[in-house]
Amino acid sequence: MPPPRPPERSHPLARLELSRLSKLVDGFREVRLLVVGDVVLDEYLWGEVERVSPEAPVPVVHVQRESAVLGGAGNVVRNAIALGAHCEFCTAVGDDRAGERVLALLGELGVDASGTVRALDRPTTRKTRVIARSQQMLRFDRESAEPMPPRAVRELLRAVDERLPRADGVVLEDYGKGLLSPRLLRAAMRRFEAAGVPVSVDPKADLAAYRGASLVKPNLREAEALSGVRIRGPADLERAAQRLRRRLGGAAVVVTRGADGMTLFADDGPGVEVPTPRREVFDVQGAGDTAIAALTLALRAGGSLREAAVLANAAAGVVVGKIGTATASPSELRAHLPEALAAAEGGGA
């Protein structure tokens, strides 16, 4: 096991610089991420609506094509790879056709699927969406949120042990499907701390097991639920975030606020707002996965938290302009950087 790495030191700039942000994007190629979390098979039925059913007052969708991509923690992997990073993945699927499809999609990405555990008594999580006229008409889910059996937990921790020595950073992506149970998290966090590898968390449940993480990225609704603070304004947001920081042992908290960008809490002071450009939004699905991937890559490439937030806003801005679970490429990210930078500078430091 390598010696522990020194604690992170941010180097905030008096002014954000476009050339510096572009250089950080170049640095993504040198970063190796380990993603651990709930994988989802996102399925799509694409079609057109031409009439209302005579059987019930519902539209009839004439399905013209079908597609499937990795969602959940798998979408973090997709985004990290699309942005140029190296990525390994530890997750679990059921012993079913959907699980086979997940393995095939990982292979298409060039990701070693041996970190994927077969949980025989659980189905692979599937979310099937019907899309017509660029709008989601319906979604139906097949899943289980029960904790994984002890055997599967042991196998997953062995997979983590094998990959951790190669990782520059870890992303824990919790979609509430039972993989990141308190038992698994406590064991995994001990390993990450011993290896000195920084951990970013996209949480869904109680934060106690994530103590020791370096960054946590809830959205507004999650920040309310996790802190117990009703957020009606900036003062409430600060109180909620500082409560989360105390529970986490001082981790940076980045609260994503949709079209309003992000607010950063890296110390005991007030938050730093990083606004995002206004743009036409087609689908917010997966934008949080893009944000945690870009935030983590930027930090591991040597960026400050504010620089990482600008890059994450730009990357999320790319994917919300697409339909379905999407990714951003380095060229798309660079194209959005000038307006993301202008919006951030307009928000002050």
Model confidence pLDDT, tens digit, residues 243-292: 999 999 999 999 999 888 999 999 887 899 999 887 655 446 668 899 99
Q: Indicate if the pLDDT at residue 293 is higher than 70.
A: yes
pLDDT for position 186: 94
Q: In what order do the strands lie in the sheet with 252-256?
A: 116-118, 86-93, 32-37, 169-173, 199-202, 215-216, 252-256, 262-265, 272-274
H/E element holding 308?
helix 305-319
For the chain, percent helix, then strand, then coil, each to nearest 5? 40, 25, 35
Enzyme catalytic residues: 289
pLDDT at residue 185, as a whole number: 95
Contact 288, 325 (CB under 8 A): no
- Mean per-residue pLDDT of the chain: 89
Which residues neighbour 183 within 8 Å (Cβ) at sequence distance 6 or greater? 147, 153
Confidence of residue 59 (pLDDT cuts 50, 70, 90): confident
Measured CA to CA, the distance from residue 188 to residue 148 in angstroms comes to 15
As a whole number of angstroms, the distance between CA 322 and CA 75 comes to 14
- Residue 128 and residue 239: Cα distance in Å, rounded? 38
- Residue 7 is predicted with a pLDDT of 37
What is the C-alpha to C-alpha distance for residues 321 and 323, in angstroms, rounded to an integer? 7
The domains found in the chain, sorted by start residue, are: 18-40+70-126+142-346 (3.40.1190.20)
For residue 110, the 8-state DSSP code is T
Q: Which pLDDT belongs to residue 284?
A: 63
Give the pLDDT of residue 9: 41
Closest CA to 89 of 192, 159, 28: 159
- Rounded to the nearest 10°, the torsion over CA 46, 52, 55, 56 is 90
pLDDT of residue 79: 95
The residues pairing with 66 across neighbouring beta strands, listed in sequence order, are: 45
pLDDT of 4: 37
Res. 5: pLDDT tops 50: no
**pLDDT at 312 (0 to 100):** 95
Q: 345, exposed or middle or buried, with CB in 10 Å at 0-12, 13-18, 19+?
A: middle
DSSP string, 137-195: EEEEEE---SPPPHHHHHHHHHHHHHHGGG-SEEEEE--SSSSS-HHHHHHHHHHHHHH
Mean pLDDT of 331-348: 86
Q: Which residue has the higher pLDDT, 37 or 326?
A: 37
- Which is more confidently placed, 21 or 282? 21
**Cα maximum dimension of the chain:** 68
Statement: residue 220 has pLDDT above 50: yes
At 300, list the tokens.
């591991």
Q: Rounded to whole angstroms, how far apart are CA atoms 282 and 134?
A: 8
pLDDT, one tens digit per residue, over 88-124 is 999 999 999 999 999 999 999 999 999 999 988 889 9
- Enumerate the β-bridge partners of residue 278: none
Beta strands across the sheet bearing 135-142? 59-72, 39-52, 126-132, 135-142
Q: What are phi and psi of 273, to 5 degrees?
A: -80, 135
pLDDT-above-90 percentage for the chain: 72
Q: Could you read off the pLDDT of 181-193 as tens digits, one per residue?
A: 999 999 999 999 9
Mean pLDDT for 130-157 is 91
- Residue 11 pLDDT exceeds 70: no
pLDDT at position 347 over 80: no
Indicate whether 33 pLDDT > 60.
Answer: yes
Q: Is the pTM of this model over 0.85?
A: yes
